[in-house]
Structure 1
Amino acid sequence: MKTGGELPLGVVLAGGLSSRMGRDKAWLTFFGQPLLRRVAEVLAGVTGEIMVSGRDPAPFGFACPWLPDDTPRLGPAGGVMTVLAATGRPCLVVSCDLPFLEPETLVRLVAAWRDRPETALMTTYRIVETGFVESLVAIYDPAGLPLLRENLEQGQRRLSAIFPESLRCHLDYSRDDPAVARAFFNVNSPPDLIRARGMEEGA
């Protein structure tokens, strides 16, 4: 599917409860910025137009439209459903807990999305060795909204299960590629944060 110079809407998912971390991940500071702001600026540099799902980004020093999360107990899949329903547009969705996300990672994703097959409702990265899908750095098509709703109503919240392989377009990468793997490192827990601080110091 060719889409010319079209860009998806950038969306930062920031409605999580941060239960594993024990404190609000969006306020963790990396490279001198709150994490939510850092991720939003990287995303905006690629898509131009962005919004935040789950909270107002203004207190973080970043101004853009935002949506409250209508489904806070449904996890990231609920956030994706909310933004697709509200915008009716393809959305490049990223979680707010990716301190080492780089523009190049997103540029490659957009390029793959522009050439995706007609059947693809989700364009994403996949780890070659394990088949793991990076569902929180992915582009979702609004045509997938009915499938999202149906699965969430049935209790399925895992995005890679809601959108099976036949409905995905993949960019494969190796976990042995440190530059790419670093971009997907997320801070979910205190041990993750300790490791991330070491990575930040070595940057």
Structure 2
Amino acid sequence: MRDALHVTADDADATDDAIPDSREVGITGVVLAGGLSTRLGHDKAVIRLHGEQGPDLLVRTAALLEPLVDEVWISCRPGRCVTGPYLRIYDEVQGLGPFGGVMTALRAAQGPVLVLSCDLPFMERTLLERLLERRGARHPEALMTTFRQEETGFIESLVAVYEYACLPFFEDALTDGVHKLSRVIPAERREDIVYTQNEALPFFNVNYPADLEMARRIIGAL
């Protein structure tokens, strides 16, 4: 199944080799970049927030994952031109949003996947390392390791490790017509890292033009 779902991306310069390597053996990193960006009005994955010479959001996200996992895949739409030496995977069932991307990645990897949405301009590698550390110490029944917002209870389903044993839950959800990621894995089968509103900046995502403008203002103030 893995070979059938992958297309080699165009050759490009590799990411910074100077980044220290702390890979989690056996985990595949997956950048979720398959959205249509209809609310934003243009493709969010190619936005450059750190100057015209800086990486776009997709490349930045892949670079965050690369030192931490066995390999990085890009979950995207057919026809997307992906920068970097990454493999592309396409949803087996179209129109399901991130749910379809994660389910396809699990089927292709046949192992755990660390998924990260491409629209998080302030995500930090240290948080991903913390996520992997918690995953290693998760309770025995946990199939998903993620972050949960303390005040609202919001589950960061697009910054999470999904174990391969999650797959039956996705298949059942697909049968039941449930495509919202936060509803797929029951709370008792999750390992949550709680964060407060004061720690929320890394989870700021770009969905609307106002979000993009806010991100630019934040970067300008840093």
Aligned partner of 2:9 in structure 1 is none
Aligned partner of 2:88 in structure 1 is 66
Structure with a larger share of its residues in helix: 1
Aligned partner of 1:186 in structure 2 is 205
Residue 71 (structure 1) shift: 2.4
CA 53–83 in structure 1, closer or farther in 2 if over 3 Å, else same: same
* Letter matched to residue 193 of structure 1: L
CA distance in 2, matches of 1:157, 1:58: 23
CA 138–57 in structure 1, closer or farther in 2 if over 3 Å, else same: farther
CA distance in 2, matches of 1:88, 1:7: 10
Aligned residues: 196
CA distance in 2, matches of 1:30, 1:43: 19
CA distance in 1, matches of 2:177, 2:138: 28
Aligned partner of 1:166 in structure 2 is 188
Query: Structure 2 length as normaliser, TM-score?
Result: 0.83
Percent identity between the two aligned chains: 43
| Cα offsets for 1:5-39 (capped at 9, x unmatched) | 64521110111111111111111112221110011
CA distance in 1, matches of 2:44, 2:80: 16
State whether structure 2 residue 109 is matched by structure 1 residue 87. yes
**Which is further off, 74-83 or 41-50?**
41-50
| Cα offsets for 1:142-200 (capped at 9, x unmatched) | 111011011122111111111121110010111123xxx11111101111111111112
The unaligned stretches of length 5 or more in structure 2 are: 1-23
CA distance in 1, matches of 2:94, 2:207: 17
Pairing 1:1-203 to 2, within 5 Å after superposition: 6-31=25-50, 32-55=54-77, 59-177=81-199, 181-203=200-222
Q: Supply the RMSD in Å over aligned alpha carbons.
A: 1.7
Give the 3-state SS of the residue equivalent to 1:19 in structure 2: coil
